[in-house]
Structure 1
Amino acid sequence: MAALRPCTLLLPVAALLFFCAAGFAVRFPDPPGAWLLSLAAVAAIAAPPLAALLRLFGPARWLAALALLSAFAFAVESLGVATGWPYGRFYYGEGLGPLLGGLVPYLLPVSYVPLVVGAVAAARHPRSRPLWTLRSAALLTLIDGVLDPGAALLGFWVWPGGGPYYGVPASNYLGWLLSGAVSSAVLVLLWPRGSPAPPALLDGTLLALAFWTGVAAFGGLALPAALGVALLAAFLARRAGIRGCARVTFLKKN
């Protein structure tokens, strides 16, 4: 008898747990050891897509992708905090833990890279890498439309000047479109030619969307919550449409 695929059970259960955890985060935004809870959450979100990416890329290409994406994330976010470009003026709070150089959290790559992986996998276009990159950048920007208002609500980062979208300035989304294009291009260029996108590459983004949609819903952020529901539905449909729904990487077939 075929084993029950975790994509039919474990992923929805995990997404529900992250959605419910969002209610706790909104109700108790600054519990003792908050950044350790953030570390545990982002590690759990990152594990499935990064493990699937390792299987797809192989060790050398995988390490190159992680190194390049992490370096870019640190560079562009540090530039943003220090100068206000390309996102607008903001700074990080204490919820994501210690800051590298007093600017950005050490956790940054662990939370950012899985989003890039998920967006690139979902937006895959087998015949046009430039179009693939642009689609992924647009998708990352939409994801941030759910994430950023919730993160500001929880105090993960602060926009001193505010903005029209739940306190977030429009410049932030132009910045995400630009940085998303660069980070997506890195992964697209490293992608093995002709290789399909394993479904597990989308799982980290699905879990992140479940959490941030929950934050928006419990926090009374109507538009981000609605956008989150739409993106969750789109990602689930995309995942289901990928041939051979993959098992979670660290579970083996009997």
Structure 2
Amino acid sequence: MNQTEIAQGQELADTWIAPALWVLAAASVLSHVVSIVLHLPQVVAGAMLALSLMLFGLLHGRATYGWRGIVWFIAVCLGVSNLFENLSILTGFPFGWYHYSDAMGPRLFLVPLLIGPAYFGVGYLSWTLARAILGDESGRLNGILSFATPVIASFIMVSWDLTIDPMMSTITGNWIWHRGGSYFGVPLVNFLGWYLTVYVFFQIFALYVRRARPAPRHLLGYWAAPMFAYTSIIVAPVLGLLLDSQSASLADPAGQLWQVSDIRAVTALVGLFTVLPFWLVAVFRIAARTGPTAR
């Protein structure tokens, strides 16, 4: 196959990948909304969100890093996250002592299968937001970007966990913290462990990208589609607060009582003042670079 035929094949692929990204971005938003409104079982809601975001990351990543690059991202993300999750369940490092309940479905070793795709889906969006904030148009992570991008992406990723962990553990019991914790039943060390875990796989991928030198194919909506997909993460805690009128109290394994309404309110505020600002900075940075021709 000559270069002309390869280029034609890439252009043909781009014609369906661009609209597919918008469909998947919309699916991620709708899956969050529908799961909250209809109170779907966690395994169903998690599967819907993880699948839509994983497919989104796969296609958008293909446009940025090629198939080899995005498959490497997936392999490193799933490998590192599963390793650290299993390690913590067995030893308490790096997240603390916990275990998953049966509500999350089948497992890979001690970790539900849904956890890996969620790491990748949200991880890829966090990575893309970090690129947008740092002005990485080329995807090649030149100079300090190969270290700055993992640092910023990790903070973005942990801000998401701040909005979901109290709800998923203390309220729905998808995972159980054996000794409770000061953040609505979640130990503070969990968030340090999260930062370490995601930083490790982001940094490994950054070093790969620096060597691979990708040449992104900027599809129509290349930046706008992931910004839209990420709105599901912003909307979810706020929608949960507005639609959940429970006044019950719950006890964590340490015996500490927590009000459901307080958990909902605080995680919504955390989302508004951590997750949303990252998204706004990324959007403003993209708008400043592209002006009236923003894609």
TM-score (norm 1): 0.78
Bigger Rg, structure 1 or 2 = 2
Aligned runs of 1:47-196 on 2, under 5 Å?
47-101=55-109, 103-124=110-131, 125=134, 126=136, 127-128=143-144, 129-152=146-169, 153-191=171-209, 193=213
Of 34, 39, 51, 1:43 maps to 51
Higher helix share: 2
Give the aligned residue type for 1:132. Answer: T
Give the aligned residue type for 1:182. Answer: V
% identical aligned pairs: 22
CA positional deviation for 1:77: 0.7
Relative to structure 1, the CA distance from residue 8 to residue 65 in structure 2 (aligned partners, 3 Å threshold; closer, same or farther) is closer
Relative to structure 1, the CA distance from residue 181 to residue 159 in structure 2 (aligned partners, 3 Å threshold; closer, same or farther) is same
Answer yes or no: is the 8 Å Cα contact 2:130–2:282 preserved in 1.
no
Which residue pairs with 1:227 in the alignment? 270
Relative to structure 1, the CA distance from residue 57 to residue 6 in structure 2 (aligned partners, 3 Å threshold; closer, same or farther) is closer
Q: For 1:99-154, what per-residue CA distance to the aligned partner results, in whole angstroms no more than 9, with x for missing partners?
A: 222x1011222111122111121122345222222112222222211121121122
Q: For 1:27-47, what per-residue CA distance to the aligned partner results, in whole angstroms no more than 9, with x for missing partners?
A: x6xx4xx52443223212332
Higher relative contact order (CA 8 A, sep 6+): 1
Equivalent residues, number: 235
- What's the RMSD between the two structures over aligned residues? 3.1
- Residues 153-162 or 123-132, more deviating: 123-132
CA positional deviation for 1:87: 0.5
Relative to structure 1, the CA distance from residue 233 to residue 24 in structure 2 (aligned partners, 3 Å threshold; closer, same or farther) is farther
SS of residue matched to 1:161: coil
Give the aligned residue type for 1:207. Answer: S
CA positional deviation for 1:181: 1.1
Give distance in 2, aligned partners of 1:68 and 1:13: 25
CA positional deviation for 1:187: 3.0
CA positional deviation for 1:8: 9.7
Gaps of 5+ in 2: 1-18, 137-142, 245-259
Give distance in 2, aligned partners of 1:8 and 1:107: 23
Relative to structure 1, the CA distance from residue 10 to residue 97 in structure 2 (aligned partners, 3 Å threshold; closer, same or farther) is closer
Gaps of 5+ in 1: 247-254
CA positional deviation for 1:214: 3.2
Give the aligned residue type for 1:235. Answer: W
TM-score (norm 2): 0.68
Give distance in 2, aligned partners of 1:6 and 1:154: 32
CA positional deviation for 1:82: 1.3
